[in-house]
Chain A
């Protein structure tokens, strides 16, 4: 029996018959157009409305008024600070945990995974209900003052980020050889803090950044938890604005959309596969 060394002629990729491909492309465009209209019309209408604050002309008056509103910047900066605090807290908890579970306690992984998914199971309004009942009276009184409630809010936001942060970090850790890197660092005399700070963190930069940005996008305009904890953050501020003003809320919605867009755009940017060479 002779084995032919010449490769068999490979069938060129069988395309669907032109007519069928044309028909499916036609339907694809119809569906895409309906989707695009559904998404873009509300944004376009809101933008259009935001330009009409001065009677008779189009202009950015609504944005000027929004940015000059005495409560805009304080509530916005407060939310930014809360978001950053929640991100740092979440990183500080999730990175060592994911690292430890990968390296030393793989048996614990399902338990940790389950807990990080709990924010999907416990809706925000139920979580804040429980937090208020748990921390609303001694011995764990935390809702007594504005600042202690704010600490509670940041902790709640950190837990909200767990599903995204854990998954992101876990994927990042799987992509590198944690064990060899750790052993190499240990053999060079590095202690645990040094290993985490100089070896693990730098290798996780992309995972950490995308987890952080997603958390930021979710937390920055969060309404439910902040509302019931009587916090004067960006979410409750926006809710008030829609009740008290006519044109400013449209500018606000556009600004909020731009913030979400910026966070998501940056995620796409940092996670884009980098060309080597």
Chain B
């Protein structure tokens, strides 16, 4: 018995340095999420129930979720494709170092330039009296007669791209840098055309990263509230706007349902981050 290693004792001192972090996160990050989770499972008379989640099929809720998902999907795909092309243009397209560093810095700014100022900038550009709207009118095209409106689904999608492209660019640039010159040379030595190299080598290697980042963009748009609030004020039903209205006054006439809507958002966001990190880990096998 004497020689057996003693079982490690739990010593509080070992954990002292991380206690403030756990307490603070518990109070201001995990606690708020847990209370929403708890309330979403509570019936009006205080018993546990899943009724609030069954009520998610409410027409208003479905409309808001549907609109949010379509908006996020559209801006993730368009932003993802164009962001990738932009990343390709400045890394492998041969545009030179200064173009690249300029665009990278700008993307850092643009990906963080959301909310009120972003909405305002687009109002001054494509709003009813925006500069571009004016310019088109002067050229004889009445933009708002063609059915376009900045304050609609398509307008909002167009604005969201301002922070979607740059995020895609910033995540994809390192991945494109990770493509090894050897692969290209090997492919060429075996007689592959540039098209074949991209289809059979580069693209499959990049695919997990591309898909993963698009999912990240989806979550980025799905959780966005400030830009949509500033631009539309709530005239478009979106999940985040619905939650906002539920905070200010019980618009759903069912507090429990509001909590379930919030938890549904957390669930979708968690799924996005999870898939993103799995795909990112997969792509690191080749590009790490």
Contact = CB atoms under 8 A, between A and B. Distances in A.
Interface of A: 13-14, 16, 20-21, 24-25, 27-29, 31-32, 34-35, 38-39, 41-46, 48-49, 92-94, 96-97, 99-101, 104-105, 108, 112, 115, 117-134, 152, 155-156, 158-159, 162, 214, 217-218, 221-224, 227-228, 235, 238-239, 242, 249-250, 252-253, 256-257, 260-261, 264-265, 267-268
B97 interface: no
Nearest to A127: B32
Contact of A252 (B31, B85, B120, B240): B120
Contacts of B36: 126, 129-130, 133
B278 interface: no
Contact of A217 (B88, B94, B112): B112
B133 to A, nearest CB: 9
B190 interface: no
B196 to A, nearest CB: 13
B132 A252 contact: no
B284 interface: no
Contacts of A105: 14-15, 17-18
Interface string B180-210: 0100010010000010000000000000000
Contacts of B225: 123-125, 223-224
Contact of A221 (B25, B117, B266): B117
21 contacts: A25-B93, A25-B94, A32-B93, A42-B122, A45-B121, A45-B132, A100-B18, A115-B22, A122-B33, A122-B266, A126-B266, A130-B33, A131-B32, A156-B28, A158-B28, A223-B226, A242-B116, A242-B230, A256-B116, A260-B113, A261-B109
Between A28, A156, A221, A257, the greatest number of chain B beta carbons within 10 A of the residue's beta carbon is seen for A28
A124 B120 contact: no
Given A115-B29, A223-B230, A239-B116, A129 B247 contact: yes
Given A115-B29, A129-B247, A134-B35, A257 B18 contact: no
Contact of A104 (B14, B21, B33, B258): B14
Interface residues of B, number: 82
A228 B244 contact: yes
Contact of B117 (A128, A214, A253, A268): A253
B106 A32 contact: no
B275 interface: no
Nearest to B101: A268
B124 interface: yes
Contacts of B247: 125, 128-129, 132, 228
Nearest to A251: B120
Interface in B217-257: 219, 222-226, 229-230, 240, 243-244, 246-248
B90 interface: yes
- Which 7 pairs show the lowest CB-CB distances between chains A and B? A130-B32, A28-B93, A100-B17, A123-B223, A45-B131, A256-B117, A28-B89
Contacts, number: 254
B262 interface: yes
A133 B226 contact: no
A117 B17 contact: no
A38 B109 CA distance: 14
Given A24-B93, A35-B165, A124-B225, A239 B230 contact: yes
B32 A253 contact: no
A117 B273 CA distance: 9
Interface of B: 14-15, 17-18, 20-22, 24-25, 27-36, 39, 82, 85-86, 88-90, 92-95, 99, 103, 105-106, 108-110, 112-113, 115-126, 130-132, 161-162, 165, 181, 185, 188, 194, 219, 222-226, 229-230, 240, 243-244, 246-248, 258, 262, 265-266, 269-270, 273
A20 to B, nearest CB: 6
A238 B116 contact: yes
Contacts of A32: 86, 89-90, 93, 95, 99, 103
Contacts of A42: 121-122, 124-126, 162
Contacts of A14: 185, 188
B107 to A, nearest CB: 9
Nearest to B115: A223
A13 to B, nearest CB: 8
B194 A118 contact: no
Given A127-B32, A159-B28, 14 more contacts: A29-B89, A42-B162, A105-B17, A123-B223, A126-B243, A129-B258, A130-B34, A130-B36, A131-B28, A162-B25, A223-B230, A227-B244, A238-B115, A238-B117
B89 A31 contact: yes
Contacts of B31: 130, 134
